Structure 1
Amino acid sequence: MSEAVREAPKKERPEFRNIHVTELSNYRMTPAAIVSILHRISGVLMFVLLPFVLYLLQNSLRSEISFAYYEGFVTYPLVKLIILALVWGFFHHFCAGIRHLVMDLHIGLDKHSARKSSVTVLVISLVLTALVALKLFGVF
């Protein structure tokens, strides 16, 4: 009976520590983590700037004079960069949202497919943003 009561040998459990702020530069995030974080950032960016965008739209539609004023306002480089940040936020949020919807259908959940789809989201959103930037800054 004493043999049955003996304890089984304990396995060494891995130690998981919290990451300190000084260790963040050594931590390598996966593309899926980067896409997830940028998806949240782009959503917050669009949500926070939505009242400002709606205000500009309302005032630009008020009269021809106000439209001409805002048309001139958009020619400033800083305003173009803000518009470009909003465009990137929209494209990234849209592409990452489609990725999440596809993953909700249990498609592409394995490690290789998730990495491939996250890199695809990053590339597509940056390429679309670059095309809008070329148009916005008058290259074509």
Structure 2
Amino acid sequence: MNEVAKKRPEFRNIHLLNDVRGYRMPPAAILSILHRISGVIMFVLLPFVLWMFDRSLASPQSHAELTSIFREGLWIFPGFLVKLGALVLIWAYLHHICAGLRFLWLDIDHHAVNKQTGRSSALASFAISLGLTVVLGAKLFGLY
């Protein structure tokens, strides 16, 4: 009975002001948080998306007006800021889709859920969504 008891690890809540700076979240946690943020962005900007969709399909004149907004700007926003807002929206959609497909895959194939799979699939989701965002952003800004 003289055995030294192995000390169990202590799990405590993270204090917001003191502990957050030193806490390093895994890629899967960052992906999950950004998935929620991209969902909020898509929800908040839904009226803008519907307005752009309406303007692009209503008539050739309204389509020309929409493309001129992306070139010249809208009200107080120069064209660069309009394109930057559209790029944020493109990222939100692509990230939300890639992360959502990852979550569905992990739900379906629950035997593959482990630390390494979670990390590698999160990094793959980041790479795919950011790569597609760069390609579509280059097209949006007229780089090709």
TM range (shorter): 0.7 to 0.9
SS at match of 1:74: helix
Distance, in Å, in 1 between the alignment partners of 2:115 and 2:11 is 24
**By how many angstroms is 1:82 displaced?**
0.6
* Structure-1-length-normalised TM-score: 0.85
The equivalent position to 1:55 in structure 2, one of 51, 54, 62, is 51
Distance, in Å, in 1 between the alignment partners of 2:134 and 2:24 is 26
Distance, in Å, in 1 between the alignment partners of 2:120 and 2:69 is 40
Q: Which residue of 1 is the match for residue 16 of structure 2? A: 20
Q: 1:25 to 1:18 in 2, by over 3 A?
A: closer
Task: Give per-residue Cα distances to partners, 1:12-37, cap 9 Å, x unaligned.
Answer: 66251332224322110100000000
Task: Give per-residue Cα distances to partners, 1:109-136, cap 9 Å, x unaligned.
Answer: 1111110000100111111100111111
Q: Which residue of 2 is the match for residue 77 of structure 1? A: 80
Percentage identity across paired residues of the two chains: 45
Does the 8 Å contact 1:43/1:93 carry over to 2?
A: yes
Rg bigger for which structure? Answer: 1
Runs of 4+ in 1 over 4 A off after TM superposition: none
Distance, in Å, in 1 between the alignment partners of 2:111 and 2:9 is 33
* Structure-2-length-normalised TM-score: 0.82
Q: Which residue of 2 is the match for residue 131 of structure 1? A: 135
